[in-house]
A and B are shown apart, each in its own frame.
Chain A
Amino acid sequence: MNNTIKQVFRSPKFLVGFIIFSMILLTAVIYPVIVRDPPLAILGQGTFFEPGVYVSTFDTFQAKRYKLDLEDAATKRIAARLGPQERQDLKAWLVTAGVPEASIDTSDTTALMDLWVNTYDPAKSEGMTSAKRNYYERLDLSLKGILGTEGVIIATTNAETGLLEESDSFARDDFVNLNQIPVVRVLPLGTDNFGRDMLTELIAATRTSLLIGFVAGIVATSIGLILGLMAGYIGGIVDDFIMFVTNLFTVIPSFVLLILISFSIGQESRGAFTIAVVIGLTSWVWTTRAVRAQVFSLRNRDHVNLSKLSGHSIFRIMLKDILPYIASYVVMALILQISSGILAEAALSILGLGPKTTEVPTLGLMMNWAMIYSAHVTGKWWAYIPVLVDIALVSFSMNLMNTGLDQVFNPALRE
């Protein structure tokens, strides 16, 4: 046994697959211990916040201020709002408003802004499309005070008089230290359409999906194994019957069957566990056939015949004399079944037939909601690419382990 395991870990393919898989598994187990937020808590008021560090504006005003004299601060501020495209757009508007093109120098920020502030009038956008008109109004607003040096005043409403009173002000060279701000939230993968933290949700979903995969894989492999062993070893009418049923299931595409069963269970009782069992119940067919074929070749071996002569029960023979010889195959089948179970859940959820919505996050459900809220059309990559990569990594690592095992156990492939 030890020797076999050593041999397995010497296969580079298995090792890489195993490392990737263990890392995913470890993250799924350890992360919830560190970050204790419920994965489905709605944090953001708004959809699809971009990945990044979110700092409380209120706390920023309250925090201790430092003066930093940065030479490029003003340049950076201007560049953020007045890039090359915006400069060209300003020029285009000025030209339509009758300013001679030759007198506009887009590289001279001061002159350009001077010209803009003195010329721009929303009423002169006549004849433009609404989209263009609105664009220039927004642009004009965003450029207000871009060249100034004055700070900003903070005012609070006096409860008695209802008037605004200056309570604080800050200058353009004021800075705060991020470490001193009490309320900061890192959203490494942003938020989803419900305003939930994507990373926390993704890891919780990976857990659920792995669980679904394991349950589905174990159910499918157990059924396949038991039926295969019986058909292969007992033979005769039992074999005929099992093969009849198996062939029936082979002809019906299992995914169609899966869709029909999921649909008929109804949304109410469609928990993650139920879905896992349903996936398992519809994907045992190939395991049965393969195990049966293996058992066929084993059942007339000498040691099996000897066991028979010694009067051992069928059960014992199957368990002790046949199973160990096909164990490696069964483990490989199990790994494949787990990986295909995860994929099946994802596929079902994208069709809206997955586990009951938002009771637990699953990878498929996350994809489903991202699609419903058009994340892929509006370029909110963080709402679906990490999920895709996660699904791909899980099934890639499992397939890699499987190929590695195959190389070790399959004599035809042994180097």
Chain B
Amino acid sequence: MKKMHLGALLVLSALFAATSAFALNPGDPLPRSETLYFNGQQWGPVVGWNPYSSNNNNALAVAQQDNARVVVFESPYVYNMLDGKQYPLLADGPFAWNAKKTEITFKIKAAAKWSDGTPVTADDVAYTWTANVKYETGAGVNSKDYIDTITAVNAKTVLVKAKLGADGKPVNPLQVISYLSSNYVIQKAWTMKLEARTGGDATKFKADPADDFVASGPYTKFFADETKVVYVRNENYWGKDKSMWGKLPAPKYLAHTIFADNNAGFAALKAGQVDVSQQFNANIQDLWLKENLPISTYLSKAPYGIGASLPTAFYNLKSPGLDQVAVRKAIAMAVDYATIISNAMTNQSATFTQVPRSLMNPTAGEQALYDKAAVKSLQWAGKDAAGANKLLDAAGIKDTNGDGWREYQGKKLSYVATCPNGWSDWQAAIEVVAAAGKTIGIEITTNYPEWSVYQTVVTNTPLPDGYDILMMWSDGAGPTQPWGRIRHLISSEFANTNNNWNGNWGGYVNPAADALIKSIPGETNAAKLKAAYTKLVQIYLTDVPSFTLMYRPQSFHAVNESVWTNFPSGDKPTNPPVPPLDLTDGYSIAGLYNLKLTK
């Protein structure tokens, strides 16, 4: 009897061992050589998987943006910030405008399939648009002023009609093409299921966690709890067809451990527990220069990445004295940008000597869009207290009572510079701005409210006391750039508005700039486009409604090559080049297909 039991037990345990060796259960330890680990994207546990919701807190799965995250869901095209092109993903070949430039037609790839095996159709694209508009999702709200309809011509052909202005021309063709690479295609059948479940209620529709989602991307849900999120490769992914990638992405699992803070993530990167890091890691170069770790960044030398966005200090134009151009320009001229870049950003930004200030990011494409010689006399390099003092003296803004501080209309010039608490590189930058005030007789103190307070204050009008110079972001790289960034920085449509998440937080109004911004999207003549951009840069550098403090990459991108190698590298680019966006955003997804195991 006893022997029997023992035998049965042995057989059972052998069986158990055999099954567990072949099929990995969610939550089991992952095989290191099949898993690509991330940090810096997911903070806190996943809320849901609903592509219509903007509240999933599901960093790797749902992010519809200029460089859409196409790991789980896919868009028709993907944007490549390095060459500025939109590459077809679900779409078959490039899209085509009609002769009058009012409609776009594109096809869906024959091979494209959903995870349930059914084909992706033009009808899915059309129905996604209908649902986006009907339920007022982020994608719908952002595009409904520019796109009139999206319909299916036949099973595989999509027709996008732009909204037309009074002149019969599209309101904004840039926003129309941007939709194609920024937003997902979601399955019609599944959307209808979601609608039936939520009874047509927009709030419920967007709040559904959507655990039963159907998607077309190479990865799908595997495991998620409060410690990590794991995505598993769909072995039947349509993209292995020759018309797309011709193979499956290299890692079987994508995993993101939820770290307590930046330092925990940084330590994990050092230890080789993270392969791709999307964090600001101060002094990252020490990891290879001093510690000889197998860690590298997109560029092997400073600034280590491609600067794409321009963190900016906005002037509250209603603060006494800041309505004066001389004061605004003087402060901007006195700031020591070299110190901001070397100390706050630990050199992970191009300097203003390398890339003189304009409205463009440092990428070659944007830099070519304006006439450098025409704005040279307006650009300033910083730390120019003498020049700033001269400017203020000439404007008659002087220290009249001898207390060391300048007065304007009898009132001492005294400002508070601010940014959210705990945003370390921004705080350090604001400290440098404040230090510049002393050198030109303008008192600048600093203040760091919590982000929860800061965000509500700066996105509404009027700005209260203590918000004279405030730091916020600007757009990065995308199909509408640099136009979109310029619009957000200086267009009067955002001045003095409430719930303003777009920009121009200082309330700058200039009709000449508005007219230029309005003219650019419809402009096809390259010379006229360049002239308009140059004029805008001239206006911006003359009026100084805000000033750029540093260049910042679209995403931070550092990799540890102890397990995987052949990551995108700016020193040895592929053709077409894969952008350093963590292998998840826009065209950088192509990097997943190039990965190899380190020998």
Contact = CB atoms under 8 A, between A and B. Distances in A.
Interface of A: 42, 44-48, 127, 129-135, 137-138, 193-195, 266-268, 352, 356-359, 371-374, 376-379
B567 interface: yes
B281 interface: yes
Given A45-B342, A372-B424, A134 B263 contact: no
B282 A47 contact: yes
B300 A374 contact: no
A352 B266 contact: no
Nearest to A137: B300
B428 A193 contact: yes
Contacts of A137: 300
Given A42-B343, A42-B432, A48-B283, A267 B449 contact: yes
The listed residue with most B CB atoms (<10 A of its CB), out of A129, A137, A359, A376, is: A129
A374 B571 contact: no
Interface in B541-571: 559, 561, 565, 567, 569, 571
B571 A130 contact: yes
Contacts of A48: 283
Interface stretch (B206-214, B287-295, B512-520): B287-295
Interface of B: 262-263, 266-267, 270, 281-283, 286-296, 300, 336, 338-339, 342-343, 346-347, 421-422, 424, 427-428, 431-432, 435, 445-449, 466, 559, 561, 565, 567, 569, 571-572, 598-599
A131 B561 contact: yes
A174 B429 CA distance: 42
A286 B300 CA distance: 58
B183 to A, nearest CB: 33
Contact of A373 (B282, B296, B567): B282
B565 A130 contact: yes
B447 A267 contact: yes
Contacts of B266: 374, 377
B446 A134 contact: no
A268 B294 CA distance: 44
A127 B445 CA distance: 53
Given A48-B283, A130-B567, A268 B466 contact: yes
Contacts of B296: 129-131, 134
Nearest to B293: A131
Contacts, number: 102
Nearest to A358: B431
B288 A135 contact: yes
Given A129-B598, A130-B569, A373-B283, 5 more contacts: A131-B561, A194-B428, A267-B449, A268-B466, A377-B270
Nearest to B418: A267
A143 to B, nearest CB: 16
A377 B267 contact: yes
Contacts of B561: 129-132
A379 B599 CA distance: 29
Nearest to B564: A129
Contact of A377 (B263, B289, B300, B339): B263
A27 to B, nearest CB: 27
A42 B339 contact: yes
Contacts of B338: 45
B4 to A, nearest CB: 55
Contacts of A267: 421, 447-449
A193 B447 contact: no
A356 B466 CA distance: 14
B61 to A, nearest CB: 28
6 contacts: A45-B338, A131-B561, A352-B421, A373-B424, A374-B266, A377-B263
A195 B288 CA distance: 22
Contacts of B339: 42, 45, 195
Given A48-B283, A268-B447, A377-B263, A131 B288 contact: yes
Contacts of A45: 338-339, 342-343
The listed residue with most B CB atoms (<10 A of its CB), out of A48, A193, A352, A377, is: A377
Contacts of A135: 288, 292
A129 B294 CA distance: 8
Contacts of A134: 288, 296, 300, 571
